[in-house]
Amino acid sequence: MSQKQTAARLLDDAGETFAAEAGISLDDKPAPLYRLLVLAVLLSSRVQAKLGTRACRELVDSDLGTPAKMGAATHEQVHDALDRAKFLSKDQTADALIEGAQLVADRWSGDLRGMRTEADGDAARLAELLTEVPRLGPVGADIFTREVQAVWPEFRPHLDGKATAGAQALGLPQDPAALADLVTGDELARFAAALVRAGLDDDVAGRVGG
């Protein structure tokens, strides 16, 4: 099986973005971009991906899916939504999400496209801006950028260490540029998510590479 065939097989098997898993229809619009930021904060806590995506869904279902709604929420409202999703670190995360929403509202008028403009295609600058958000460190910045490259193509290809670890498990190139050549640009976000899953789940790697 060629490397391109392996990549295609991986996309078929595990090529759902984490945003899609969380119920986010990602687009270059304020609400879905903010929800992706929330997901990145939740996944920064090093929880299992399914727990983070479930918590994100619960927050959106609880009408906390915009900076205005999250920023105006009480600690108890956010805490209770996280509790319903069985999320850990509920107290610190609730405070961080409220503070982060207020930061987005104050700094970019509730619209992360302002962050995009400020970063101006520089992934390192985007990471700096993202890590100003409470409880969103370098891991979360990578998660956000991996996913947002679907709608912000100037940040392609973003295939970080978690993605290249998945590539290694499948015998694919670990150089981001070489990896990116195996799929189309519009498939990169899905490919990155699938590679991460292959690195975390031996079953995925076994199905695809076997």
Of 128, 149, 170, which marks where a domain is finished?
Answer: 149
Q: Which residue range forms the structural domain that includes residue 164? A: 3-17+157-209
Same-domain check for residues 97 and 136: yes
Q: What total of structural domains would you count in the chain?
A: 2
CATH number of the domain residue 80 falls in: 1.10.340.30
Same-domain check for residues 120 and 169: no
Q: Distances from the Cα of 143 to the Cαs of 34, 73, 151, 158, in angstroms?
A: 13, 25, 14, 10
Of 149, 173, 192, which marks where a domain is finished?
Answer: 149
Same-domain check for residues 78 and 40: yes
8 A C-beta contact, residue 114 and residue 30: no
Same-domain check for residues 43 and 130: yes
Rounded to two decimals, the pTM is: 0.96
pLDDT of residue 210: 62
Of 105, 123, 149, which marks where a domain is finished?
Answer: 149
Q: Find all residues with CB under 8 Å of 109, minimum gap 6, and list them.
A: none
Tens digit of each residue's pLDDT, the chain (210 residues): 899 999 999 999 999 999 999 999 999 999 999 999 999 999 998 778 899 999 999 999 999 999 999 999 999 999 999 999 999 899 999 999 999 999 999 999 999 999 999 999 999 999 999 999 999 999 999 999 999 999 999 999 999 999 999 999 999 999 999 999 999 999 999 999 999 999 988 888 888 976
